[in-house]
Structure 1
Amino acid sequence: MLTIENINVYYGNIQALKGVSLTINQGEIVTLIGANGAGKSTLLKTISGLLKPKQGQILFEKSSIAGNAAQSIVKKGISHVPEGRRVFANMTVEENLELGAFLRKDKAGIKEDFEKVYQLFPRLLERKKQQAGTLSGGEQQMLAMGRALMARPRLLLLDEPSMGLAPLLVKTIFKIIEEINQSGTTILLVEQNANMALSIANRAYVIETGRVVASGTPEELDSSDQVKLAYLGGH
């Protein structure tokens, strides 16, 4: 579904991604693991069109999207839930969700997706007339995910969905990520909580200072001493 070949991405003179290649198959949950500043968020921003690679290819369903405008990438079927949630604080929950469907014209489908989002996140239904800025961190995370789903993506990019959330809420968010995946959406997940991410992923890539240094199934990575020591608490 997504093929990234040898991309190099820079912030000014600083190279953030160095020859990164990876693939995501339809229906998978693939997770990116790595320390802060390793380049994980940069990779998601490059896929979603917020950053342009200097070299390399990004193919989504066999067509090149490298350097395309962000809105055209959303139109093609990729939605990005950024780190730090980024909800529109002065707008209501409902208005935030409406914005997620901004590029769509199919009124019946949009209505159906509102219902789906409220089924996945009943808390948002209770708060639909409330300003997004007044929601708790967990509720804002649900809203950011719900807003991305309103674009009806085939590939969902999730950047640190559990960041700053209480452990119980983290479990809830991960359960919902699995449900989204089971309903047919492919997921690329960036997550500091490596153990949690691997517990739901089909495959994972480990990124260190802008390079992919290991990849495999959760079982394969769990049996690698280097990965275990660095990211999985060395157990």
Structure 2
Amino acid sequence: MAAMLDIKDINVYYGAIHAIKGISLTVNEGEIVTLIGANGAGKSTTLRTVSGLLTPKEGEIKFLGETISGLPAQDIVRAGISQVPEGRRIFANMTVMENLELGAYIRTDKEGIEKDYQMVFERFPRLAERKEQQAGTLSGGEQQMLAMGRALMSRPKLLLLDEPSMGLAPLLIREIFNIIVDINKAGTTVLLVEQNANMALSIANRAYVLETGRITLSGDAKELAASEDVRKAYLGG
């Protein structure tokens, strides 16, 4: 089976800094794959490169068999990849509804868009209660839900999630991770970058461990969660 996302030997630089050093990874349709690693390991840089915000100097990224490395970000959204950025990046001065409308900007199917608003409100009932509220007045957890809802409005085949648990209380983190599992069960493939390695490994099918821009370990998420090295380095074991 061909991978949905296939990253081959990419090298990415920030100016003179060699941030990603020849990594290769795959995400198959229907999976949750997680990238774990310390701060500055290159996890977010990898997602930003997949979503077209950065261009690899060498290597290639393929999505559904087509090369996407080097394409503008909006074309990558059109191809079926949507990202929930680190720090949420919602539009604080706009209402919840306006933020969701922006998520559907590449679409013209009015009926489908209406259906998807309902889908988002069913998945995130708190957003339905606050749809006319300014997004900046929402709690951190609600803003994370809005960022996820907005990304789902483009009907992605692949959802990139960058640190969804950041700054959230433990109960909310559990809720957000349950929602990620539901989104995946409903048919969206997920590539997840997460500091909370315990939570990430508990919901993922497979995982890659990144250290200073290189993949040092990869495999079944449950097996990695049980590995002595991973436990010592990332799980506080």
1:233 is displaced (CA, Å) by 1.2
1:230 aligns with 2:223: no
* Distance in structure 1 (CA, Å) of the matches to 2:206 and 2:236: 19
Q: Paired residue for 1:105?
A: 108
Write the deviation string for residues 176-215 of structure 1: whole angstroms up to 9, x where unpaired. 0000000000000011110101110000000000000000
Residue in structure 2 matching 1:34, options 9, 33, 37: 37
Instruction: Point out 4+ residue stretches in structure 1 off by more than 4 angstroms.
Output: none
Q: Paired residue for 2:188?
A: 185
* Distance in structure 2 (CA, Å) of the matches to 1:222 and 1:12: 35
1:225 is displaced (CA, Å) by 1.8
Write the deviation string for residues 88-118 of structure 1: whole angstroms up to 9, x where unpaired. 0000000000000000000000000000000
1:224 is displaced (CA, Å) by 2.4
Q: Paired residue for 2:62?
A: 59
Answer yes or no: is the 8 Å Cα contact 2:198–2:225 preserved in 1. no
Write the deviation string for residues 17-65 of structure 1: whole angstroms up to 9, x where unpaired. 0001000000000000000000000000000000000000100000000
* Distance in structure 2 (CA, Å) of the matches to 1:15 and 1:143: 33
Alignment of structure 1 residues 52-201 onto 2, 5 Å: 52-201=55-204
- 2:113 is paired with a residue of what secondary structure? helix
* Distance in structure 2 (CA, Å) of the matches to 1:31 and 1:204: 5
Answer yes or no: is the 8 Å Cα contact 2:49–2:55 preserved in 1. yes
1:219 is displaced (CA, Å) by 2.5
* Distance in structure 1 (CA, Å) of the matches to 2:38 and 2:120: 32
Aligned residues: 234
1:227 is displaced (CA, Å) by 1.3
* Distance in structure 1 (CA, Å) of the matches to 2:69 and 2:137: 37
1:228 is displaced (CA, Å) by 1.4
Write the deviation string for residues 125-176 of structure 1: whole angstroms up to 9, x where unpaired. 0000000011110000000000000000000000000100011100110000
- 2:107 is paired with a residue of what secondary structure? coil
* Distance in structure 2 (CA, Å) of the matches to 1:219 and 1:128: 38
Q: Paired residue for 1:8?
A: 11
1:231 is displaced (CA, Å) by 0.7
Unaligned runs of 5+ in 2: none
Please say which of residues 6-15 and 221-230 is displaced more in the overlay.
Answer: 221-230
* Distance in structure 2 (CA, Å) of the matches to 1:227 and 1:82: 26
Write the deviation string for residues 55-93 of structure 1: whole angstroms up to 9, x where unpaired. 001000000000100000000000000000000000000
* Distance in structure 2 (CA, Å) of the matches to 1:133 and 1:25: 36
Residue in structure 2 matching 1:48, options 51, 56, 73: 51
Answer yes or no: is the 8 Å Cα contact 2:106–2:154 preserved in 1. yes
Letter paired with 2:82: S
- 2:39 is paired with a residue of what secondary structure? coil
Instruction: Tell me the C-alpha RMSD between the 2 structures.
Output: 0.6
* Distance in structure 2 (CA, Å) of the matches to 1:174 and 1:219: 16
